[in-house]
Amino acid sequence: MTPKIGQSAPDFLAKDQHGENITLSQFRGKKVILYFYPKDSTPGCTAQACNLRDNYETLLEKGFVVLGISTDSEKRHQNFIAKNELPFSLISDPEHLVHDLYDTWRLKKFMGKEYMGTVRTTFVIDEEGVISDIIEKVKTKDHTAQII
């Protein structure tokens, strides 16, 4: 079932880029930007991550924690973070368990072919763990403005 604005955000247990356990509930009391993206080091995903990086101080001042999530491995996340100097954690979800909770693992079409993949979506979650916004038409180069 697709999460909706006003509903509690599904909690999850996953690994960050260091292989450390990370849950959504550990950020209760803070606002969370949970953004799902298709793949590290691709042009759109890099533009989105760098936009969040470039506006990270503003997001912190507004009380946000930023968490990116894709099906990439922890090692690939480490390389993506290092190459782009990202100041936030990336979650590795190779089995797309968290994607399934948020209904972001869906059938996609590209050049006449159908495949399962990540639908780029951002969930803005309030201090109580409730979804306050869902951004489905992400502007990768201006994503922070869409959030705030």
Where in the sequence numbering do the catalytic residues fall? 45
Nearest of 63, 69, 83, 73 to residue 128 by alpha carbon: 63
Residue owning tokens 């697709």? 2
Return the H-helix or E-strand segment holding 15: strand 13-16
Beta-strand relationship, 121-125 and 131-135: antiparallel
DSSP state of 9: P
Q: Which residues are CB-neighbours of 75 under 8 A, at least 6 positions away?
A: none
CA-to-CA distance for 34 and 6, rounded, in angstroms?
Answer: 15
CB 23 within 8 A of CB 65: no
